[in-house]
Structure 1
Amino acid sequence: MVGADTAWIIVATALVLFMTLPGLALFYGGLVRSRNVLSVFMHCFAIASVMSVLWLVAGYSIAFGDGNAYWGGLGKSFLNGVDADTVSDTIPEVLFFAFQMTFAIITPALIVGAYVERIGFAFVMLFSSVWMLVVYAPVAHWIWGGGLLAGAEWSLFENGVNDFAGGIVVHQTAGLAALVLAAFLGPRSDKSKPPHNPGMVMIGAAMLWVGWFGFNGGSQLAADGGAAMALTVTHISAATASITWALWERIRYGKASLVGMVTGTIAGLASITPASGSVSPVEALIIGAIAGVLCQVMCGVIKDAMKIDDTLDVFAVHGVGGMFGILMLVVFGHAGIVEQGGGLIVVGTFTLVMTTLIVMVCKMIVPLRVDPEDEVQGLDLTAHGERAYDMTS
């Protein structure tokens, strides 16, 4: 084991958990109406807790066990055979387990943005649990665990898919799942209210930006120049996308909003994620510049053209951003079109089909959507018996 590598991945693990708690919770919480902010916090916190346990029970083994092309099996369930002295490359395997656990937490947590203000809490817990084990963990195995798309002897593609930190594994899967869930749920009863706390949104986005250094830089799994470059290009893409989103918003509406600018930040971060292990700072600048406009345009396509109430634009920002980053690796010559395009098609089809099936089964067990009266009163009070503020809006 290399001490510097271990120390860096310990820090990176903390940073990625910080992205969900409190970063994503604050980012999403500020975007909803005040009577639903605690429900968003509850969703994020409960998902983090449940996914951690399930990752220990079976998720890690499915993703990174010694199985076959399709899944890792259950040989490493409950970290069977892993102790403090077991090594994975240059770090303890238990640390690799913990680092990957934070990815298994944030991926289903990203989906929260699609169904806020109208979904049943029991459904969130059941769906997120099944989805992480049945969709996320197998896809992680296919690309990162030596499986179907990894370039191993049984891979579909000779060179494997280049997805450094999760353009497909995290952002495409979460984005498509969000789209499916939003379509099943239908629109909110009242979509007229703006974000109740833009300042909270900005604070959450800032935490996500900082945490993303662990997300992308930590994916190098070493304290070296590759990690430093991944961190640098991540920052450049985020900064550039923030600017282009704000500029495009100014051109379209005459004003650049704080919520818009920080949403551009997240678009730039999602887009650079799969490419951060390969691209140069100039290439990251180009990715960010396009992402800030592309993802903003896609927000309108999903809500206005497709009429799907993906409430907080999970697919447009994360799904489109992650897939765009995957394809930009082809444009810049860092990966082949067959591998990248094939990976998007295989994982996209699998995610859409399995997510649809999971939703259909889960809603036969627990209610998918809350009663209309509960939606009007707000989920904070009706689902959790609490209020975030003295007055609701």
Structure 2
Amino acid sequence: MPVYCAGFEDPAGGLARPCIFAHDGNGGRARPTGKRCMLCCLEKLQQALSSRVAKGNLHRLLKHWRRIGSPTYEAAFGLGSLCALSTNEHCLLRARAGEGCDFDLQTSWLHKKKQRLEHFVMGRPIPAASPDISQGSQKYLKAKAKWHKGNRDFRLHWRYRQYRVKEPFANIKTRCKRRTYWRGRNAIVRGMRRAWWRARRILKTKYLAAMAAGPPYNRSGLKWAVEEGLLETGIQVPLADGAVQLCQPRWSFLTPAGDVLYFESLDDRKSSKTKRLQSAKVSINNAFGRPEYAIDREEYVHDWSSRMIRNGVIFSPPYVDSMLERLGFKLQLLREYSAWPAGASGLLQIRSTTGSAAAGYWAALIPIEGRVYLLDAFQRGPALIENMQHAVQVYTTYAMVPF
């Protein structure tokens, strides 16, 4: 007399469900050797998966159900003991049953298999130059690719320029008859392409280090790096000598337009008398684009605190003018704005977020290629001024002009 499966054994101790895993796939009860089949008992399933023969029987059973289109195939994964397995084990069992895995082409590596094999043999192709690259950047790369005294990176720039011209390396010839992965035309092309990508990575590191070194900046070189995609606009690189000054960090800021700015910042405590005094010194440095001025402790205690601010109000721009005399500059009041003042290195403004003179502080404005940037020490970074006439009319503005 045949023995039928006693049904699915509930691990929580509930009532057993009827077995539906008959071999014919019609939803009847299976005929196991023991009390329950492997799809109704977790213990028997573990024994079957640890046995090569029993695992093969399970694979053939699933493959048979899938081939005849029986709903028992999906029920085995959702209602049987297979539901206790992990997702990876489910994918493996479905693959053994002949079911193709449904991978998303956007996230799967399968659609890139041929491309990765080509890159492994021929190297990653060198991208073409951007059509929007300026004439100045082209001249800069051409000049840097030539050897002259003091140009230590000419080999990197030469390799960057010449290998891009030779892409796709159709004229490469070799006498090597034994073409293997290490010899022949493919190996030569792969070596040149790898050398180009290596040069690109090294140049990116060098230009980031140049920004971290601080002023004076190689603006034409950094502009070329931005147009080539070596550097991203909007980055803020801390200066090597300013990172240790936590209360007054120094940065090199790369604007979205590709301009490089020296920027000293303070924290946002505008009500602090010390910070508002420091904003004058910081704004002078930001206007010059380099650390030009510093306040020693004795000068700060006896002069700045008594002459710059009285009763919490900034009242003495002439004292800043006397401080600029050390650098060969003076302040000139700017009542209206039609064009940038002739000979002015920068502008200094007394700004206030509340409209009260008691909360005033100093900020700097500098021009670069027709664009004017606001360097506010209490902000996170420089800001582009769209309407200069309005900015001059609202805030008290002084031009820094030489004697």
Normalising by structure 2, report the TM-score. 0.21
Decide which structure has greater strand share: 2
Report which of the two has the higher share of helix.
Answer: 1
